[in-house]
């Protein structure tokens, strides 16, 4: 801890000062901790306000949203905005599209990435390092730098505006990080466990299915949720590859533009946003710890 | 962990390769490379080729082809060498967008990291209930789907009934009554910055907080006994220990903020001057999708990809370190 060394010099002076001004210092510390606590509460409220405002507006009747003075508390809660959004039928169509694309993507990503993660964490083989390196670079490629070519590819294959076309692009975009995430889980289950089971008379397949697979279940769930979030929220590729068959993010954008002509009905727009956000928030809270550590793991471990 | 597993396997290569005879004694020196890992990689490789590698190749081909009026009527594109690159990169419009993107990216990444780090320090300093409140609120903001988040901010900054204008008027800034934030480039980017920072701070704050909690309490205690004050502890103990996390987080923010596209696109819907508010992604989109200049769009895209790969290099290296 050489970093501590430069601190040494003020040592004498600091403790002498502390002895002289002991009482006012304690008081100042209390003031300081109170100020920091207040700052913390204010920062929390500031950051959560947009989320609160979305949900609150969704439950507020249009008349109150148009008033010059905003209502900050749910005094006139109503579900009418939600009913309006759902009764049009276009929301349900977009929901169907989103569910189809998301489910297909999650299944493909999990299956392919799981096999890939097994390969790179259970075997040493020629090309392994290049593969891992390629995977890490690929996950950094922005959709914004590729969507023109992806659009031309899909239009050439007559897959524009289809579930399959978008799924192909989503699967490729999500697999790299998922392989990286699952690799950690697979490596976390020692191969010795499987071997012990095989010594006890299980075949390799049995050992894998009964010992390793259950231990990997949390990793598969976390990766599945990650893939779900990516596919469900995706906007850029959907904007390029879809036209009349819209996913929910695209639908929300059009819903807002369409209502802009006759003065936006923010209550309905916020109800629609809330409907899209709820599954995401629920699932997100579930995996976020894993995502943070996955993204910066190299840095934390040094 | 991964290190152990990777080393553990070659010793048991007899059953690691299901195809090989299980009774063969492992020969560490001249062992056959097993077929199994390659087979396991096939599905992922096929998906990556179909969705990414093929488009990258196609993009390179497109960037040296001409897509003019004839091509819109079904003619095959013609080879034009580097014409697209010359045409696009001698256009001042592109350089204006590049400069704007870089400025936007740096401002946003810097603000995000500073505020995120401040939040992390705050989480360390406050009592547990306040810390939990801050964590939950940050997580909720982080969890918001991007499109829903941008939509809420459009509502907050709505010129007629938005909360922001109402609040500013209450504070005495009467000129903000009915102020249209999204129709001027400067206030447009101000709103875009607020949105991006709001969305990105939670990741930085929680990562940095994780980094800060990894600093052992004993070290800080020892320095306190030695008479270090808060500022000295920060610069001489915390900063050196969290610098790796800090630099990775900053790098990720720069990479992510350079590719901002959707937020700008969604904000432009409200009637912003498109050519003055485009960032790189939006410029490519407009060039390709609206003007059907696929060759030029592909040329700019290749520039963006190369820039990303160059910026990603240190990040990828730090992740490879973990793979050992």
Contacts of B240 in chain A (CB under 8 A): 3
B209 and B228 inside one domain: yes
- Among chain B residues, CA nearest to A51: B141
pLDDT given at position A227:
92
Place of tokens 């490729």: A172
User: Residue B244 above 80 pLDDT?
Assistant: yes
Residue of A40, A153, A284 lying closest to B55 (CB–CB)? A153
Mutation to test the A interface, candidates B10, B55, B269, B321, most A Cβ within 10 Å: B55
User: Residue A198 above 90 pLDDT?
Assistant: no
Q: Mind telling me how many Å the CA of A224 is from chain B's nearest CA? A: 15
A71 confidence band (pLDDT: 50, 70, 90): confident
User: Residue A9 above 50 pLDDT?
Assistant: no
Q: Mind telling me how many Å the CA of A89 is from chain B's nearest CA? A: 20
pLDDT given at position B4:
34
Per-residue CA distances from B149 to A161, B15, B199, B278 (Å) = 25, 51, 8, 20
Enclosing H/E stretch for B78: strand B78-79
A167 and A279 inside one domain: yes
B150 and B22 inside one domain: no
In this predicted model, what pLDDT tens digit does every residue of A217-263 receive, in sequence order? 888 988 999 899 999 999 999 999 999 999 999 999 999 988 877 77
By C-alpha distance, which of B134, B106, B118 is closest to B238? B118
By C-alpha distance, which of B230, B248, B227, B247 is closest to B238? B230
Q: Find the mean pLDDT for residues B50-75.
A: 87
Contacts of B153 in chain A (CB under 8 A): 50
B20 and B47 inside one domain: no
- Rounded Cα distance between A15 and A13, Å, is 6
A106 and A26 inside one domain: no
Q: Mind telling me how many Å the CA of A211 is from chain B's nearest CA? A: 16
pLDDT given at position A23:
60
Contacts of A300 in chain B (CB under 8 A): 210-211, 214, 244-245
Last residue of a domain, one of B14, B48, B79: B79
B227 and B248 inside one domain: yes
A125 and A31 inside one domain: no
In a domain, A86, yes or no: yes
User: Residue B89 above 60 pLDDT?
Assistant: yes
**Angle CA(A217)–CA(A219)–CA(A220) in degrees, nearest 5?**
65
CA dihedral B233→B200→A230→A288, nearest 10 degrees, is 30
A41 and A187 inside one domain: no
CA dihedral A195→A199→A201→A207, nearest 10 degrees, is -10
Average pLDDT score, chain A: 85
In this predicted model, what pLDDT tens digit does every residue of B104-162 receive, in sequence order? 999 999 999 999 999 999 998 899 999 999 999 999 999 899 999 999 999 999 988 89
Q: Directed axis angle between helix A266-301 and helix B185-213, to 10°? A: 40
pLDDT given at position A287:
74
**CATH number, position B94:** 1.10.3720.10
Contacts of B265 in chain A (CB under 8 A): 239
pLDDT given at position A297:
53
By C-alpha distance, which of B96, B141, B126 is closest to B209? B126
Q: Is B38 on the interface with A (CB under 8 A)?
A: yes
Please provide the DSSP assignment of B258-308 as one string.
HT--HHHHHHHTTT--HHHH--HHHHHHIIIIIT--HHHHHHHHHHHHHHH
A42 and A93 inside one domain: no
B55 and B155 inside one domain: no
% of residues, chain B, pLDDT over 90: 55
B63 and B16 inside one domain: no
| Contact between B189 and B277 (Cβ < 8 Å) | yes
pLDDT given at position B250:
92
Mutation to test the B interface, candidates A56, A283, A298, most B Cβ within 10 Å: A298
B123 and B196 inside one domain: yes
Domain residue limits at B220: 85-323
- Rounded Cα distance between B225 and B222, Å, is 5
pLDDT given at position A289:
64
Q: Find the mean pLDDT for residues A9-23.
A: 48
* CA–centroid distance for B300 within its chain: 19
In a domain, A101, yes or no: yes
- Tell if the CB–CB gap between A148 and B284 is shorter than 8 Å: yes
In a domain, A271, yes or no: yes
Contacts of A4 in chain B (CB under 8 A): 219, 222-223, 226, 228, 236-237
Q: Find the mean pLDDT for residues A161-183.
A: 94
B139 and B200 inside one domain: yes
B139 and B224 inside one domain: yes
Q: Find the mean pLDDT for residues B256-268.
A: 93
**CATH number, position A140:** 1.10.3720.10
B57 and B148 inside one domain: no
- Among chain A residues, CA nearest to B293: A148
Q: Find the mean pLDDT for residues B309-322.
A: 86
A114 confidence band (pLDDT: 50, 70, 90): very high
A301 confidence band (pLDDT: 50, 70, 90): very low
Q: Mind telling me how many Å the CA of A7 is from chain B's nearest CA? A: 6
CA dihedral A255→A259→A260→A262, nearest 10 degrees, is 170
Domain residue limits at A40: 2-49
β-bridge pairing B65-66 and B78-79:
antiparallel
Q: Which of residues 202-261 of B touch A (CB under 8 A)?
A: 202-203, 206-207, 210-211, 214, 219, 222-223, 226-229, 232-233, 236-237, 240-241, 244-245, 247-249, 252, 255, 258-259, 261
- 3-state DSSP assignment of residue B79: strand
Instruction: Please count the other Cβ atoms lying within 10 Å of the Cβ belonging to residue A142.
Output: 22
Contacts of B154 in chain A (CB under 8 A): 256
Domain count, chain B: 3
pLDDT given at position B285:
94
- Among chain B residues, CA nearest to A71: B163
Burial label, B110 (beta-carbon count in 10 A; 0-12, 13-18, 19+): middle
Domain count, chain A: 2
User: Residue B309 above 60 pLDDT?
Assistant: yes
Which segments of A189-245 does DSSP mark as H helices, in order? 191-199, 204-207, 213-233, 236-241
- Rounded Cα distance between B187 and B175, Å, is 14
User: Residue B9 above 70 pLDDT?
Assistant: no
In a domain, A62, yes or no: no
> Looking at A11-15, A43-47, B181-185, which range is the least confident one?
A11-15
User: Residue B230 above 50 pLDDT?
Assistant: yes
User: Residue A290 above 70 pLDDT?
Assistant: no
pLDDT given at position B122:
94
pLDDT given at position A14:
46
B173 and B65 inside one domain: no
Q: Directed axis angle between helix B294-323 and helix B239-258, to 10°? A: 160
Q: Directed axis angle between helix B185-213 and helix B146-156, to 10°? A: 130
In a domain, A68, yes or no: no
| Contact between A235 and A249 (Cβ < 8 Å) | yes
User: Residue B63 above 50 pLDDT?
Assistant: yes
**Within a 13 Å sphere around the CA of B307, how many CA atoms are in the beta-carbon half?**
20
- Among chain B residues, CA nearest to A189: B5
CA dihedral A218→A219→A223→A224, nearest 10 degrees, is -40
pLDDT given at position B118:
95
pLDDT given at position A195:
84
ipTM: 0.84
A33 and A100 inside one domain: no
User: Residue B19 above 60 pLDDT?
Assistant: no
By C-alpha distance, which of B210, B201, B234, B166 is closest to A43? B201
B298 and B182 inside one domain: yes
- Rounded Cα distance between A250 and A262, Å, is 20
Q: Mind telling me how many Å the CA of A146 is from chain B's nearest CA? A: 6
- Tell if the CB–CB gap between A144 and B280 is shorter than 8 Å: yes
In a domain, A56, yes or no: no
- Rounded Cα distance between A121 and A214, Å, is 17
pLDDT given at position B22:
45
Q: Provide the token pair at A237.
A: 């590729």
- Among chain A residues, CA nearest to B204: A292
Q: Mind telling me how many Å the CA of A35 is from chain B's nearest CA? A: 10
- Tell if the CB–CB gap between B322 and A297 is shorter than 8 Å: yes
% of residues, chain A, pLDDT over 90: 46
pLDDT given at position A296:
59
């Amino acid at each position: 801890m050489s970093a501590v060394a430069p601190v040494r010099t003020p040592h004498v002076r600091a403790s002498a000062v502390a002895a002289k001004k002991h009482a006012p210092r304690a008081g100042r510390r209390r003031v300081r901790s109170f100020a920091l606590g207040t700052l913390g509460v204010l920062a929390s409220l500031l950051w959560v306000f947009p989320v609160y405002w979305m949900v609150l507006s969704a439950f507020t009747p249009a008349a109150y949203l148009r008033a010059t003075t905003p209502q900050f508390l749910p005094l006139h809660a109503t579900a009418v905005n939600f009913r309006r959004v759902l009764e049009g039928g276009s929301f349900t169509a977009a929901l169907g599209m989103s569910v189809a694309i998301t489910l297909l993507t999650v299944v493909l990503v999990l299956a392919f990435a799981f096999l890939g993660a097994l390969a790179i964490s259970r075997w040493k083989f020629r090309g392994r390092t290049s593969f891992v390196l390629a995977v890490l670079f690929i996950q950094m490629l922005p959709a914004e730098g590729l969507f023109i070519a992806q659009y031309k590819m899909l239009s050439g294959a007559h897959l524009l505006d289809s579930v399959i076309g978008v799924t192909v692009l989503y699967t490729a975009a999500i697999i790299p990080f998922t392989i990286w995430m699952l690799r950690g889980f697979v490596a976390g289950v020692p191969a010795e466990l499987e071997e012990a089971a095989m010594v006890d008379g299980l075949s390799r397949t049995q050992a894998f299915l009964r010992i390793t697979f259950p231990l990997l279940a949390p990793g598969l769930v976390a990766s599945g949720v990650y893939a779900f979030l990516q596919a469900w929220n995706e906007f850029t590729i959907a904007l390029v590859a879809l036209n009349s068959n819209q996913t929910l993010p695209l639908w929300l954008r059009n819903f807002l533009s369409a209502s802009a002509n006759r003065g936006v009905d923010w209550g309905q727009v916020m109800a629609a946003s809330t409907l899209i956000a709820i599954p995401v928030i629920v699932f997100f809270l579930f995996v976020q710890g894993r995502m943070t550590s996955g993204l910066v793991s190299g840095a934390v471990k040094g | 962990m991964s290190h152990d597993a990777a080393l553990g396997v070659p010793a048991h290569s007899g059953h690691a390769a299901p195809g090989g005879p299980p009774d063969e004694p492992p020969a560490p020196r001249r062992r056959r490379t097993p077929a199994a890992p390659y087979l396991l990689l096939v599905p992922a490789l096929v998906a990556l080729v179909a969705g990414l590698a093929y488009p990258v190749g196609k993009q390179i081909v497109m960037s040296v082809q001409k897509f003019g009026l004839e091509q819109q009527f079904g003619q095959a594109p013609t080879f034009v060498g580097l014409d697209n690159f010359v045409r696009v990169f001698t256009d001042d419009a592109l350089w204006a967008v590049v400069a704007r993107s870089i400025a936007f990216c740096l401002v946003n990444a810097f603000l995000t990291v500073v505020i995120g780090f401040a939040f992390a320090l705050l989480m360390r300093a406050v009592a547990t209930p306040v810390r939990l409140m801050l964590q939950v609120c940050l997580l909720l903001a982080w969890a918001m789907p991007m499109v829903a988040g941008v939509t809420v901010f459009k509502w907050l900054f709505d010129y007629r009934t938005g909360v922001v204008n109402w609040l500013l008027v209450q504070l005495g800034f009467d000129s903000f009554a009915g102020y249209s934030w999204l129709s001027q480039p400067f206030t447009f980017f101000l709103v875009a910055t607020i949105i991006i920072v709001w969305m990105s701070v939670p990741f930085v704050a929680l990562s940095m907080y994780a980094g800060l909690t990894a600093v052992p309490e004993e070290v800080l205690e020892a320095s306190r006994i030695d008479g270090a004050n808060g500022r000295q502890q920060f610069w001489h103990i915390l900063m050196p220990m969290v610098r790796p996390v800090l630099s990775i987080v900053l790098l990720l923010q720069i990479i992510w903020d350079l590719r901002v596209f959707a937020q700008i696109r969604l904000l432009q819907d409200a009637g912003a001057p498109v050519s003055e508010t485009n960032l790189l992604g939006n410029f490519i989109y407009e060039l390709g999708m609206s003007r059907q200049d696929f060759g030029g769009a592909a040329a700019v895209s290749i520039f963006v990809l190369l820039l990303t790969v160059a910026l990603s290099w240190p990040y990828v290296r730090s992740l490879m370190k973990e793979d050992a």
